[in-house]
Chains A and B, each alone.
Chain A
Amino acid sequence: MDIRSQISMVFHLDKCIGCHTCSVACKNIWTDRKGAEYQWWNNVETKPGTGYPGKWEDQDIYKGGWEKKSNGAGNGESGDIKLKGAGKRKGLGNIFHNPNLPVIDDYYEPFTYKYLDLIESPAGDDQPTARPVSLITGKHIDIKMGPNWDDDLGGSPDYARNDPNLKNLTPAEREAMFQLEKMAFFYLPRICNHCLNPGCVASCPSGALYKRGEDGIVLVNQEVCRGWRMCVTACPYKKTYYNWHTGKSEKCILCFPRIEAGLAPACMHSCVGRIRYLGVVLYDADKIQDVASAPEDELVNRHMDIMLDPNDPEVIEAAKQNGVADSTIRSAQASPIYKFVKEWGMALPLHSEFRTLPMLFYVPPLLPVMASLSRANNAEQAEKLGAKTKFWSDDWLYDTSTEELFGTIDQARFPLQYMANLFSAGDTDMVRERLMKLMAVRIHRRHVTVGDVSKEKADGALHEAGLTAEMADAIYYLTALAKFDDRFVIPAAHREQAIEMMEFTGDKKGNTGFGFKEGTAQRGL
């Protein structure tokens, strides 16, 4: 057992309102630079949709992630997985020209507008306009793509219908998603997953990418990076980016300078919907290879099983043996991630089938699933609603009744198979289980606060979803009421110890602040 700690995250999709505040916070801090204009280390996608870069989930195009060669053994002991589009043979063979590298047009050509023309144009018959100019060439361009170009275009032919996750949906299911009056979508915020088996690290010929041992954050050493660009191909989530100006790769650094200071990453801190949770989990690093090469149907469960119970005395003892700090173990015990993923079983990883073991988990969204439509009996509805509210002439109505528990999950207008393609490698049962829990918590809270649901009915719903009333209240608290310190349990970074390992702090006295990094400036001879 080789127990390590890992900073891990949960995004609660039911709470995401798609406001892109996270993206803007990240952009302003990290990627507002030449060559990085097109990079969105944090982006929010509308699903169904093609995302950013276009169709990133389609690995037949982008060749990201790992693929399992033989499916025979089944025990996954052999570790027989290979990088799909990179690795030692393919990476070095394609080093002069990487055929699987996305180009800037797959993202979008960054642009700005000539705002000054609005002010400085000479007087004339026409209103002056601010024409778009490319941030690469400086020339006028016709904008074809931009950040969040597919935002809210849930039913659109160009975006929603080209979503790679529609692959094993029946034509009827697809059409049901795209009819205007039935159309549904939700938001998927994405950052680097800081994977346990990162494809980017494995693909880097220079060895510039690495995983930090102490907290598992995946970083690019800019001094070592030589711009071979294999990481861009190998990351199946397309979360490593090539900076065309510096010739180096860049990626989400999980705001490690903030984390080391005990602050939440900027995207998480600024999240308006408070959908983001961050904490540390303990895991067994010896199991990474086995889990990453597990058969597809066991992959999701074995991925989540790699997390260890931080309250188990054996785990604590082994963690201490392995040098995990007490403060880190305490943080792991209070971690909202362990609760969401393991204790309550409510979160799932995104696209486990890429086999990188992502450490960002998503609570699947209940709302687009639950809000099924039924053809209302017009007369009856008119009688019921007409007196108090404006009656909608369309005879389709949202069915939000709680009379038939969980009934709507399976008859949803939003096919479970679609969610399963995103979060559980196609297994609808796993998604249904999570949605039932979300629904059960609502029914329970409705019983507690409104009271129109009977206790028997609420307890029945909880029982069916595998929860207790205490768990439901805890879930409710962490979902709806949680304060900053409940959502972000960040262990001390112990940087002071790191510094003392490398150098004697006395040597640095007088060298900080008004010190010299490269010696005093030479003046004359």
Chain B
Amino acid sequence: MTSLDYFLFTAFPYVAISVFVIGSIYRYTRKGYKVSSLSAQFLEGKQGFWGTVPFHFGMLVVFLGHLLAFLFPAGVLAWNSNPMRLIAHEGIGFTFAVALLVGLIILMIRRLTHPRLKAVNTRMDLFVELVLLAQVILGCWIALGYRWGSSWFAADLSPYLWSILKLNPQPEAVVAMPLVIKAHIVGAFSIFLIFPFTRLIHILVAPFHYIWRPYQVVIWNWNKKDIRDSTTPWSKARPRNN
């Protein structure tokens, strides 16, 4: 094991995850105003549709696929034990990965060519898109060239990721893997690393609470009933400075 391998598969994941957690919390609490993705649909809607929809749904399925193989490796291996189910599993995953790739390319072309979008572009947006593009191309390459990814992910990578989570990193299996797969793993941790500094942060504020919320929101600045009741003090807190 070279020292570079040792750094990339033991130290780097901890750096990336620490930056991800601390950076996200810092940004949400201190710079909360910008915790969102700057939508450009208002400036350009038609071409964006063909990019953003396949991109997001592709990303959703591909990410959940990785997450399931990480969380439930035994279950994924059991599912894959039947060849038909394995091919269906891999086929669906690859289809969405291609959708993700196509959507991403359309979004990048749109970002670079549409005159109105140039007004809202940042260099960081382009950087994120390039990182994602590299990662998706590597992922598709792996899916085609190193079959069957869903099985060996569950068998070899999931234990590695758990070993990192358990603060007892076991990078041996990963170090022995082909270069493409190593690059994909480093890419994944790199995305975690840059996450808090980019528009990717909007994933963390996905509005699931809308599902349980009543439709109408009314906010009272104070409790009027308390104010009108002469027996209650308006201020529940005592002064701190006297």
Residues of A within 8 A of B220 (CB): 212-214
A513 at interface, CB cutoff 8 A? no
Min Cβ gap A62→B in Å is 13
Contact-residue bracket for chain A: 35 or more
Q: Are A501 and B226 in contact (CB under 8 A)?
A: yes
- 5 pairs across A/B with beta carbons < 8 Å? A137-B116, A212-B219, A213-B218, A223-B33, A322-B225
Partner of A324 from the list B217, B221, B224, B239 (CB cut-off 8 Å) is: B224
B215 at interface, CB cutoff 8 A? yes
A205 at interface, CB cutoff 8 A? yes
Complex interface bits, A366-403 against B, C-beta within 8 A gives 1, otherwise 0: 00000000000000000000000000000000000000
Q: How far is the CA of A168 from the CA of B110 in the complex (A)?
A: 42
Residues of B within 8 A of A139 (CB): 115
Residues of B within 8 A of A131 (CB): none
Complex interface bits, B224-242 against A, C-beta within 8 A gives 1, otherwise 0: 1111100000110111111
The 4 closest A-B CB pairs, nearest first, are A323-B224, A205-B207, A213-B220, A202-B215
Contact A229 to B218, CB < 8 A, known contacts A96-B56, A103-B45:
no
Contact-residue bracket for chain B: 35 or more
New A-B pairs, 16, CB < 8 Å, besides A136-B116, A137-B116: A87-B215, A97-B52, A99-B49, A101-B41, A136-B119, A201-B216, A202-B215, A210-B218, A213-B219, A226-B205, A227-B36, A227-B39, A242-B39, A325-B224, A501-B227, A501-B235
Residues of B within 8 A of A323 (CB): 223-225, 227-228
B37 at interface, CB cutoff 8 A? yes
Residues of B within 8 A of A138 (CB): 119
Q: How far is the CA of A198 from the CA of B219 in the complex (A)?
A: 14
A306 at interface, CB cutoff 8 A? no
Residues of A within 8 A of B40 (CB): 244
Q: How far is the CA of A500 from the CA of B224 in the complex (A)?
A: 12
Q: How far is the CA of A204 from the CA of B115 in the complex (A)?
A: 30
The closest CB in chain B to the CB of A243 belongs to B42
Min Cβ gap B35→A in Å is 7
Complex interface bits, A321-339 against B, C-beta within 8 A gives 1, otherwise 0: 0111100000000000000
Contact A223 to B207, CB < 8 A, known contacts A96-B56, A103-B44, A229-B42:
no
The closest CB in chain A to the CB of B214 belongs to A202
Q: How far is the CA of A201 from the CA of B44 in the complex (A)?
A: 25
B202 at interface, CB cutoff 8 A? yes
Interface pick from A14-22, A271-279, A503-511: A503-511
Interface residues of A: mostly helix, strand, loop or mixed?
A: loop
Q: Are A507 and B234 in contact (CB under 8 A)?
A: no
Residues of B within 8 A of A222 (CB): 33
Q: How far is the CA of A506 from the CA of B39 in the complex (A)?
A: 44
Q: How far is the CA of A97 from the CA of B219 in the complex (A)?
A: 29
Q: Are B42 and A207 in contact (CB under 8 A)?
A: no
Pick from B56, B209, B213, B217 the residue with the most CB of A within 10 Å: B217
Q: Are B224 and A322 in contact (CB under 8 A)?
A: yes
A480 at interface, CB cutoff 8 A? no
B222 at interface, CB cutoff 8 A? yes
Complex interface bits, B113-130 against A, C-beta within 8 A gives 1, otherwise 0: 001101110000000000
The closest CB in chain B to the CB of A510 belongs to B241
Contact A201 to B39, CB < 8 A, known contacts A96-B56, A226-B205:
no
A92 at interface, CB cutoff 8 A? yes
Complex interface bits, B41-75 against A, C-beta within 8 A gives 1, otherwise 0: 11111001100110111000000000000000000
A287 at interface, CB cutoff 8 A? no
Q: Are A88 and B210 in contact (CB under 8 A)?
A: yes
Contact A210 to B235, CB < 8 A, known contacts A101-B42, A136-B119:
no
Min Cβ gap A138→B in Å is 8
Contact A104 to B218, CB < 8 A, known contacts A320-B228, A323-B228:
no
A187 at interface, CB cutoff 8 A? no
Complex interface bits, B61-97 against A, C-beta within 8 A gives 1, otherwise 0: 0000000000000000000000000000000000000
The closest CB in chain A to the CB of B103 belongs to A96
Q: How far is the CA of A198 from the CA of B33 in the complex (A)?
A: 24
Residues of B within 8 A of A137 (CB): 115-116, 118-119
Q: Are B216 and A226 in contact (CB under 8 A)?
A: no
B211 at interface, CB cutoff 8 A? yes
Contact A96 to B52, CB < 8 A, known contacts A88-B211, A202-B216, A244-B120:
yes
A172 at interface, CB cutoff 8 A? no
Q: Are B209 and A504 in contact (CB under 8 A)?
A: no
Partner of A497 from the list B37, B119, B222 (CB cut-off 8 Å) is: B222
Q: Are B116 and A207 in contact (CB under 8 A)?
A: no
B21 at interface, CB cutoff 8 A? no
Q: How far is the CA of A322 from the CA of B209 in the complex (A)?
A: 29
Residues of B within 8 A of A226 (CB): 35-36, 202, 205, 207
Contact A501 to B216, CB < 8 A, known contacts A97-B49, A205-B210:
no
Q: Are B41 and A501 in contact (CB under 8 A)?
A: no
Q: Are A206 and B118 in contact (CB under 8 A)?
A: no
Partner of A507 from the list B45, B225, B241 (CB cut-off 8 Å) is: B241
A23 at interface, CB cutoff 8 A? no
B38 at interface, CB cutoff 8 A? yes
Q: Are B45 and A101 in contact (CB under 8 A)?
A: yes
Complex interface bits, A202-238 against B, C-beta within 8 A gives 1, otherwise 0: 1011110111111000000011011111000000000
